[in-house]
Amino acid sequence: MHQHKVLPKRIILVRHGESHGNLDTAAYTTTPDHKIDLTPTGIAQAQNAGACIRAAIASDSSSPNWRLYFYVSPYARARSTLRELGRSFSRARVIGVREECRIREQDFGNFQERERMDSIMETRLRYGRFYYRFPEGESAADVFDRVSSFLESLWRDIDMNRLNQDPSHDLNLIIVTHGLASRVFLMRWFKWTVEQFELLSNPANCEIRIMQLGAGGEYSLAVHHTEEELLQWGLSLEMIADQKWRAQANKGAWNDQVPVCLNAFFDNLPDSDDDNVDLNEVTDKIKNSPMNKKKMKRKEIR
């Protein structure tokens, strides 16, 4: 029997609270990354994040019957963040929670020696944050691949109503993860380029980024967040314009005004075949190309 698909009203990304590793990177030299937990400040940040999320959802008077479903990284600091922000909600509001390994922190390579990591981080800046792979660890591109896999599973959960959502309730997905994973999630969702990814700043501890359904059924950061916030996060003016367009766009529409669609890959394309295109000139270029000359030479030999 076909189930009615209910799209989440919001997909909310939350970076974990301040950890002992954020406070002092020496923690990574003696404690496995996945075991590093929150500081007292991080606990307070997580509790405040829960209150902020509840306020953002509950302020929508049009949907009093809202529910939550959580996805959480298996790292201790993410699980503790979930535990603390969850104090803002009653059990009746929570449909469920799932630990999801694919949204874990980028692997930096087992125990991290401070002097070695300083040199590695310098190399990473010169090489590029997206493609640089940490020795014994991952690149942001690797994280992109597993987050992409997670997104595919997420959509299957929604399509098949595995979240057991009542259509009369607004569904809010809350993803408690890490800084890089959240940036890569947005990059994958909104089809940002590597160059656009490199512009993005890392979210602060327990910073919340809300993707909300717009009037036409597309998700956008511009429904809940201001242009000033998006600029602070590193989005370019073109990326912000696209978010504003998405806030009003019909589901499945394509914004062909976004530079990444064409202009980022081609220079000075004519609007049509009739504009500034000399077909004879194009034909001559093909005939005189080195590749075509090689083909003709091979034919003569045969």
Residue 2 annotated to the active site: no
Average pLDDT value for the chain: 87
Question: Which has more confidence, 195 or 274?
Answer: 195
pLDDT at 1: 43
- Of all residues in the chain, the percent with pLDDT exceeding 70 is 85
- Confidence band, pLDDT 50/70/90 cuts, at residue 118: confident
- The answer to whether the beta carbons of residues 49 and 18 sit under 8 Å apart is no
End-to-end C-alpha distance for the chain, whole angstroms:
64
pLDDT at 94: 95
* pTM score of the predicted model: 0.84
The one catalytic residue in 2, 4, 34, 105 is: 105
Does 116 appear as a known binding residue? no
Q: C-alpha distances in angstroms, 79 versus 15, 129, 175?
A: 11, 26, 11
Does 19 appear as a known binding residue? yes
Report the topology of domain 10-213.
Rossmann fold (3.40.50)
Residue 105 annotated to the active site: yes
From 162, 173, 220, 210, select the one nearest 67 (Cα to Cα).
173
Does 21 appear as a known binding residue? yes
Extents of the domains making up the chain: 10-213, 260-300
Question: Which has more confidence, 113 or 17?
Answer: 17
Region at 266 (left for phi over 0; alpha for psi -120 to 50; beta for the rest) = beta
Q: What value, to the nearest 5°, has the Cα angle with vertex 184 and ends 240 and 141?
A: 130
Does 77 appear as a known binding residue? yes
pLDDT at 41: 98
Strand 170-177: give its sheet, edge to edge. 94-99, 66-72, 170-177, 10-15, 208-213, 219-220
